[in-house]
């Protein structure tokens, strides 16, 4: 019999805490440059896209470098299953720190591209900075988020998962 810290509906069939919307949104937001590039590249592969000047500097391909750690967490989030390998388990357990590296990397690249003075940032840049700070704040300050990143489905459940 399992003892649950949270209501039963917050657990998945492997008895680990489910990823909630704020965690998923944080991971997606911190890997937005790569994901946007992939989705727009797939959707508009045969047409030319013109990005408004207000957002042009925010979608510079250099920012994809800062998304790589967050993308690892995104892939580990999709792989939260007993059959997942060791890399997914490690990436998930290190998830908050990988997201922090991604956020700091983005802020450094943003400052390098636009300049570090607050007067250099437009409203869109400030929105991205606020979103980045909010995502990291939730991941590190929420007890629920800490519990989610501590848990990964046990590999011993593999046989049970195959039968279902």
Report how far residue 26's alpha carbon sits from residue 3's, in angstroms, rounded to the nearest whole number: 28
Range 72-77 average pLDDT: 94
Report how far residue 140's alpha carbon sits from residue 91's, in angstroms, rounded to the nearest whole number: 16
In a domain, 53, yes or no: no
In a domain, 87, yes or no: yes
Give the residues across from 17 on adjacent strands: 11
pLDDT at 154: 81
In a domain, 11, yes or no: no
In a domain, 45, yes or no: no
In a domain, 115, yes or no: yes
Q: Which domain holds residue 97?
A: 17-38+60-154
Residues with Cβ within 8 Å of 153's Cβ and at least 6 positions away in sequence, in order, are 12, 14, 15, 16, 80, 81, 82, 84, 161
In a domain, 23, yes or no: yes
Into how many domains does the chain fold?
Answer: 1
Summary mean pLDDT of the chain: 83
Report how far residue 17's alpha carbon sits from residue 149's, in angstroms, rounded to the nearest whole number: 9
Read off the pLDDT of residues 2-30 as tens digits, 9 standing for 90 and up: 677 887 878 888 888 899 999 999 999 99
φ, ψ dihedrals at 32, nearest 5°: -65, -35
In a domain, 7, yes or no: no
pTM, two decimal places: 0.81
Report how far residue 157's alpha carbon sits from residue 141's, in angstroms, rounded to the nearest whole number: 30
In a domain, 109, yes or no: yes
Read off the pLDDT of residues 38-71 as tens digits, 9 standing for 90 and up: 776 665 655 555 554 445 555 677 888 999 999 9
């Amino acid at each position: 019999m399992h003892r649950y810290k949270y209501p039963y509906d917050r657990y998945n069939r492997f008895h680990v805490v489910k990823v909630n919307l704020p965690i998923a949104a944080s991971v997606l937001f911190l890997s937005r440059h790569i994901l946007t590039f992939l989705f727009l590249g797939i959707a508009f592969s045969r047409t030319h896209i013109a990005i408004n000047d207000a957002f042009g500097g925010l979608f510079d391909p250099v920012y994809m470098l800062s998304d790589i750690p967050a993308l690892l967490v995104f892939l580990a989030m999709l792989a939260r299953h007993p059959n997942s390998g060791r890399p997914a388990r490690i990436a998930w357990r290190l998830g908050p720190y990988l997201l922090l590296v991604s956020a700091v990397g983005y802020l450094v690249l943003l400052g390098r591209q636009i300049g570090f003075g607050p007067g250099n940032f437009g409203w869109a840049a400030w929105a991205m900075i606020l979103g980045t700070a909010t995502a990291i704040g939730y991941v590190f300050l929420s007890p629920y988020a800490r519990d989610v990143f501590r848990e990964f489905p046990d590999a011993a459940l593999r046989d049970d998962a195959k039968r279902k």
